[in-house]
Amino acid sequence: MPLFMPMTSMKPLSFLLLIKLLFLGLSVAPFIAGDEHQFSFSGFSNTNLTLDGAASVTPNGLLMLTNGSALSMGHAFYPSPLHFHNLSDGTVQTFCISFVFAIVPTYKDLSSNGLTMFIAPSKNLPAAMPIQFLGLLNDQNNGNETNHIFAIELDTFQNLEFEDINDNHIGIDINSLYSIKSHNAGFYHDESGTFQSLGLDSQEAMQVWVDYHREKTQIDATMAPLGMVKPTRPTVSANYNLSSVLTDVAYIGFSSAQGKINTKHYVLGWSFGMNSPAPAINLTILPTLPSDPHTKYRHRLWLLEIILPLATAALILSVAAVVSLLVRRHFRYAELRDDWEVEFGPHRFSYKDLFHATEGFDDKNLLGAGGFGRVYRGELPRSKLRMAVKRVSHDSKQGMKEFIAEIVSTGRLQNPNLVHLLGYCRRQGELLLVYEYMPKGSLDKYLYGEVNNSTLSWDQRFWIIRGIASALIYLHEEWEKVVVHRDIKASNVLLDDELNARLGDFGLARQYDHGVEQETTRVVGTIGYLAPELARTAKGTPLTDVFAFGVFILEVTCGQRPIMQSTQDELVMLVDWVLEHVQQGSLEDAIDVRLKGHYNVGEAYLALKLGLLCSHPFVCARPSMRQVIQYLDGHIEPPELPAHQSFQALALMQNEGFDPYIMSYPSSTNVGTISSISGGR
């Protein structure tokens, strides 16, 4: 129900009071008085706005210009025409407009296009277009002076076509969507003078004041958050004589347009004053934005459009993670198993157990690395069985069965001076051998001082030599088959808790015999311990073991590596060095200085003599292990050493093309080999 009442501009407050008293609860209060025209709407219930397009007034009084439909647009006009011209001189009079609007996109800060408050000669905007034309103009008439349109645009889209400054601006438009002046949406603080920007599509209601001053021909547009007193400094202002733009009779209204992004444009309140300030909009009775139902809807939407995909993605991800975990687990612990292995069943360890026992083959459990692979300390979680796990890489399937059969058969070897094989595990490309754990480690560390204050006494050394001899006689003679160790050396001798010598690594050397064709002459063993005839035959025999054992005896007795650095920086064979001492009659100088003279002279000389005898270049000159044991135990006197033995032998060997100093061995000779030359271990 519109109200038309006389009003004097002198007493607007008392008049308002009267309205309030008379029409309490009414949200509509349009005024028309003489040539000073005014109106004010705080909400649009029961008003007579002219609407078109998607525009409608919601039941609670919101003017909704666009309803969220794609490419929709809508207009709302104050129903009556207004006279803008001064009757006496025809200039456009001073007018003031204020309105409260809100742009509510479905997703905050993502909206399309915008709205305008405009003055036009007619309520029919011919062929106004949506989207960037904001429902105001079209591509034909944009910029044409015959439009007679003045507008304030609140634009949430940057149209480069119209040289928009950004996607959140307020602009002053004359006949065109090219704004004559525009500014980032926001306001200037009265006190500080600083600019505070406002998000047009922040879903918040905001107030705008538009003032035209007749004498100054100045247009000011001011923005502020709802509830704030109008800032003194306008957000944007321009000098423009609207007299040449606006027709005398014109309509005032709103237009808005939406693109593809679901956005609703609302006007909550509106007031106008010709030749007077715009009446205040009663903010307390403004209709509320559909925040509650809309938010609920948005929540549901949010649930559907965000939570659901997220949840689905999370589900897929977690399923994928579980699957990949299972697959990785599967590969991580994957093993190779063949039917023929069933007979070795009891000796088979699961890779998973070994993996956990060694804490995933952690470096902190690394005991050492030898020629065949790395050795890790491990402990089975349940039985607390301590073990040493050697990872041997292999790539040949060929001979694998024989090799494992042999490895496993060595598991049946029972001698107190052997490191027992507890079992094995086979995987793609590698074999894991599980040995008894020897807490004291390998002998070489004691001999060459890697373990502090660990010089072994003579008795301990002799006991170690005796132990290895007894291990070898077991392998060579006492077991059902002849087992050639092929890699006797200090680093393969491990010490148990009582410092008993335990020979390790037996059987391994044979792997390469089986895995590789017999005709390829691969020398297996470690340089310095290799019998000269191996260069020719490449075939390990018990007597090549004896040769290596001879070098080992000298190593233990002299505390020197099999190939040593002489004072002239030359490499000297330990055998030759000892022999020289024998010939010079200075045997005591050959014995390890670390013993500081504390040794059994008879035993030490015997050891040196035996060492030389065993490492004799001529195969037939070497004793068997059974004889060695008898010499060691003192049952038989060893034979005298032949004079100039080594010099003759060396000459002979060099004639045959075997130069012990030029170590050109095939690739199977191992890391231990090289490091024992450089003495780096």
Active site residue 35: no
Beta bridge partners of 239: 218
Contacting residue, 14, 124, 232, 244, with ligand NAG by CB under 6 A? 244
The burial class, CB within 10 Å (0-12 / 13-18 / 19+), for 14 is exposed
Q: Pick from 104, 59, 106: which is nearest to 256 by CA?
A: 104
Closest distance of CB 474 from ligand ADP, Å: 18
Q: How far is the CB of 485 from ligand ADP (least distance, A)?
A: 11
Beta bridge partners of 338: none
The interface partner of residue 176, options being ligand NAG, ligand ADP, none and the CB cut-off 5 to 8 Å by kind, is none
293 binds ligand NAG per the rule CB under 6 A:
no
Query: According to CB under 6 A, which one of 9, 122, 184, 241 is a site residue for ligand NAG?
Result: 241
Cα–Cα dist 26/11, whole Å = 20
Q: Any contact of residue 12 with ligand NAG (CB under 6 A)?
A: no
Are 306 and 123 a contacting pair, CB within 8 Å?
no
Place of tokens 């200090």: 490
Three-class secondary structure of residue 376 per DSSP: strand
Q: Kindly identify the residues of this chain, within the stretch 635-674, that bind ligand ADP according to CB under 6 A.
A: 672
Q: Work out which of 150, 187, 372, 462 binds ligand ADP, going by CB under 6 A.
A: 372
Contacts of 518 (CB under 8 A, 6+ apart): none
Cα 133 to Cα 124, 250, 663, distances in angstroms: 15, 20, 89
390 annotated ligand binder: yes
Q: Distance between CA 180 and CA 162 in Å, rounded?
A: 11
Can you say how many angstroms the Cα of residue 379 is from the centroid of all Cα atoms in its chain? 32
| C-alpha separations of 66 from 54, 78, 454 in Å | 5, 17, 92
In this chain, which residue has its C-beta nearest to ligand ADP? 370
DSSP assignments along 462-483, one per residue: HHHHHHHHHHHHIIIIISSS--
Cα separation of 469 and 93, whole Å? 123
Place of tokens 């490895």: 407
Per CB under 6 A, the segment of 164-172, 370-378, 398-406, 636-644 that binds ligand ADP is 370-378
Catalytic entry in 487, 505, 513, 576: 487
What string marks each residue from 379 to 418 as x (binds ligand ADP by CB under 6 A) or -?
---------x-x----------------------------
Q: 121 with 148: CB under 8 angstroms?
A: yes
Q: Does 69 bind ligand NAG (CB under 6 A)?
A: yes
State the binding string over 420-459 for ligand ADP (x if CB under 6 A, else -).
---------------xxxx--xx-----------------
Nearer residue to ligand NAG within complex by CB, 63 or 400? 63
- Relative orientation angle of helices 645-655 and 574-584, to the nearest 10 degrees: 150
List the helix and strand counts (H, then E) for the chain: 16, 28
CA separation for the pair 356, 349 (Å, rounded):
12
Which residue, 430 or 436, has its beta carbon nearer to ligand ADP? 436
Q: How far is the CB of 503 from ligand ADP (least distance, A)?
A: 11
Cα–Cα distance measured from residue 389 to residue 381, given in angstroms and rounded to the nearest whole number: 15
- Count residues contacting ligand ADP (CB under 6 A)? 22
Write out the binding residues for ligand NAG, residues 158-197 only, by CB under 6 A: none
89 belongs to the binding site for ligand NAG (CB under 6 A): yes
In 106-199, the DSSP E strands lie at 114-120, 150-155, 169-174, 181-184, 186-188, 195-197
- Nearer of residues 496 and 580 to ligand ADP, judged by Cβ: 496
**Selected binder of ligand NAG within 2, 199, 225, 642 (CB under 6 A):** 2
| Span of 1-9, 140-148, 361-369, 653-661 interacting with ligand ADP by CB under 6 A | 361-369
**Pair 53, 73: CB distance under 8 Å:** yes
Q: Which stretch binds ligand NAG (CB under 6 A): 239-247, 363-371, 504-512, 636-644?
A: 239-247
Contacts (CB under 6 A) with ligand NAG, residues 30-59: 48, 53-54
Binding to ligand NAG by residue 68, rule CB under 6 A? yes
Binding part of the chain for ligand NAG, among 88-96, 348-356, 417-425, 505-513 by CB under 6 A, reads 88-96
Question: Of the two residues 67 and 500, which places its CB atom closer to ligand NAG in the complex?
Answer: 67
Residues of this chain, 495-514, that bind ligand ADP according to CB under 6 A: 504-505
CB of residue 508 to ligand ADP, shortest distance in Å? 8
Q: Which amino acid is at 109?
A: D
Q: Considering CB distances under 5 to 8 angstroms, the limit depending on partner class, which of ligand ADP, ligand NAG, none binds residue 278?
A: none
Judged by DSSP in three states, 160 sits in: helix
- Sequence letter at residue 679: G
Q: Which whole-number Å values give the CA distances from 23 to 7, 41, 58, 306, in the listed order?
A: 16, 14, 22, 47
Q: Counting contacts by CB under 6 A, is residue 16 touching ligand NAG?
A: yes
| The binder of ligand NAG chosen from 5, 110, 165, 285 (CB under 6 A) | 285
Question: Which of 375, 501, 556, 614: binder of ligand ADP (CB under 6 A)?
Answer: 375
Euclidean distance between CA atoms 457 and 118, whole angstroms? 109
Residue 623's binding partner among ligand ADP, ligand NAG, none (Cβ under 5 to 8 angstroms by kind) is none
> CB 164 → ligand NAG: shortest distance, Å?
22
Q: Burial code of 292-316, b = ≥16 C-beta within 10 A, e = fewer?
A: eeeeeebeebeeeeeeeeeeeeeee
d(CA 677, CA 660): 11
Looking at residues 124 to 143 of the shown chain, list those that interact with ligand NAG (rule: CB under 6 A): 141
Determine which residue in the list 15, 30, 61, 72 makes contact with ligand NAG, applying CB under 6 A. 72
Least Å from the CB of residue 221 to ligand NAG: 19
Query: For residues 267 and 101, is the Cβ–Cβ distance under 8 A?
Result: yes
Q: Regarding beta strands 366-369 and 563-565, do their DSSP bridges make them parallel or antiparallel, or are they unpaired?
A: unpaired
Q: Out of 197, 275, 291, 624, which residue is the one contacting ligand NAG (CB under 6 A)?
A: 275
Phi, psi at residue 544, to the nearest 5°?
-70, -35
Which of ligand ADP, ligand NAG, none does 496 bind, CB closer than 5 to 8 A by kind? none
Residue 618 near residue 571 (C-beta atoms within 8 A):
no
244 binds, among ligand ADP, ligand NAG, none (CB under 5 to 8 A by kind): ligand NAG
Site for ligand NAG in 619-648 (CB under 6 A): none
CA 129 – CA 368 distance, rounded (Å): 82
Q: Does 167 bind ligand ADP (CB under 6 A)?
A: no
DSSP summary character for residue 665: -
| Smallest separation (angstroms) from ligand NAG to the CB of 236 | 20
The residues binding ligand ADP (CB under 6 A) are 367-372, 375, 388, 390, 419, 435-438, 441-442, 491-492, 494, 504-505, 672
Known binding residues are: 390
- Give the residue numbers marked as catalytic: 487
- Interacting residues toward ligand NAG by CB under 6 A: 2, 16, 20, 48, 53-54, 67-69, 72, 79, 86, 88-89, 91, 93, 141, 144, 146, 214, 217, 241, 243-244, 275, 282, 284-285
Binding residues for ATP: 390
